Amino acid sequence: MKRRLLISTLGCLLFVNVLLGFRVYNAQAASPEDDTGYAQISVFARAVQLIRQDYVDSKKTSYHDLIYAAMKGMLASLDPHSQFMDPADFKDMQDDTRSRFNGLGIEVSVKGGLLTVITPMEDTPAAKAGILSGDQILRINGTSTEKMELQDAINVLRGTPGQKVTLTVLRPATKEIKDHVLERAEIKVQSVKSTRILEPELGGSFKIGYVRLVQFNEPTADELEKALDELQKQGMQALVLDLRNNPGGLLNSAVDVCAQFLPPNTTVVSTQGRVASQQSDYATSANAKQRPRFPLAVLINEGSASGAEIVAGAMKDLNRGILVGETTFGKGSVQNVVQLPDGSALRLTTAQYYTPSKQIIHARGVTPNITVPLNGEQERALFASRSTENLKPEDELNLIKTKDPQMLRAVDALKGVMIYAQQAAPQVDPVRK
């Protein structure tokens, strides 16, 4: 331990001396096998010294810019989700969790080496332009995204409201390449939407509730609790929980959402990482509000990611709900965010999520119990309806009946469960006097 501390101290001293302008002569060359902090930091420090000393444009060689650039490259080399955030980026991330930011309303990740749309958020410029989950962004304002870091792409997508951004998008399903000119806007995300009892034309004699979760942020669990309270007051007998195109969000929020459907102290997800501190089980609160165990169907698709996959995986593994739709995105890695002294931060992948039955989510996704795909026309119609304000009830009903087979199948599954439960209920003989 003392030897490691000494090496670390010597390495830091060497690093500081070089950055302060002292020259290091006859430094021992570090080989790839020599992976000690002292040897490798000396190489890095020497590189910084040479750039500061000899690079042609002195305006690009401040210590701040060089070190930030090095940290961005270092984190980007690990995986698509680890990243270095400067203070402005870190503030943007904090705003995300509070449901407000400026941009296009598009959630992106890197999949197969390509900048890929996880989901367009409804009521945003991206959704209104018809961008869909799985679309690949080839260029932003004419600049190729092939070698663009994820955070750099996000920074271009976001910005001052009113400014226009041109996205060149490839839709893999049709091989169509199209330019979309979008205007940035202030994005305010309401995480719980469309709470209602479904029309009798869908539910028949049963009162089937419907709730759509747009993402998992700080107020989501509280908003869902209020929505379920209201539906129960209206006599709800079963529920469709729509997680389609929900890109996820906060882990704790997803766990708290699970608590609305599961008993207290129920493990809903676990993490496994390289160190013992990353081996964790996440369970519903001991003080969670108890509800009747009403039949539950969960709608999922390729745009369901991260927190949405945690909820879907828990409902499936614990036999609490029927999953209907398509296999989810497969974003199941854990990022810890650590703030640095200057206000910047590291987002570092430290573990992977596992469902209660120890199924890995990352790169595999969660598969539905009942597979019901949507074709391109149906998917576009669904997105268009969610981007239309004040859609009339009769129009929404017609849309479900003609363009949303996933919803219809979920409702049929719930009706089947309730009919079976009624038939299986013991018959009580009248009391004889």
Active site residues: 306, 317, 331
Cα distance between residue 362 and residue 309, in whole Å: 10
**337: which strand partners?**
347
Calculate the alpha carbon distances from 5 to 8, 10, 11, 414 in Å.
5, 9, 10, 62
Token duo for residue 203 = 């539910």
Cβ-based burial of 52 (10 A; exposed 0-12, middle 13-18, buried ≥19): middle
Token duo for residue 316 = 């499936």
Cα distance between residue 248 and residue 214, in whole Å: 8
**Contact status, residue 148 vs residue 142, Cβ threshold 8 Å:** no
Within 8 A by CB and 6+ apart from 305, the residues are 107, 109, 118, 119, 246, 247, 248, 328, 329, 330, 331
CB 117: neighbour CB atoms within 10 A? 25
CA atoms within 13 A on the CB side of 212: 15
**Contact status, residue 278 vs residue 324, Cβ threshold 8 Å:** no
E runs forming strands in 243-328: 267-273, 280-283, 296-300, 322-325
Token duo for residue 65 = 């810019």
**83: which strand partners?**
347
Counting every residue written for the chain, the total comes to 433
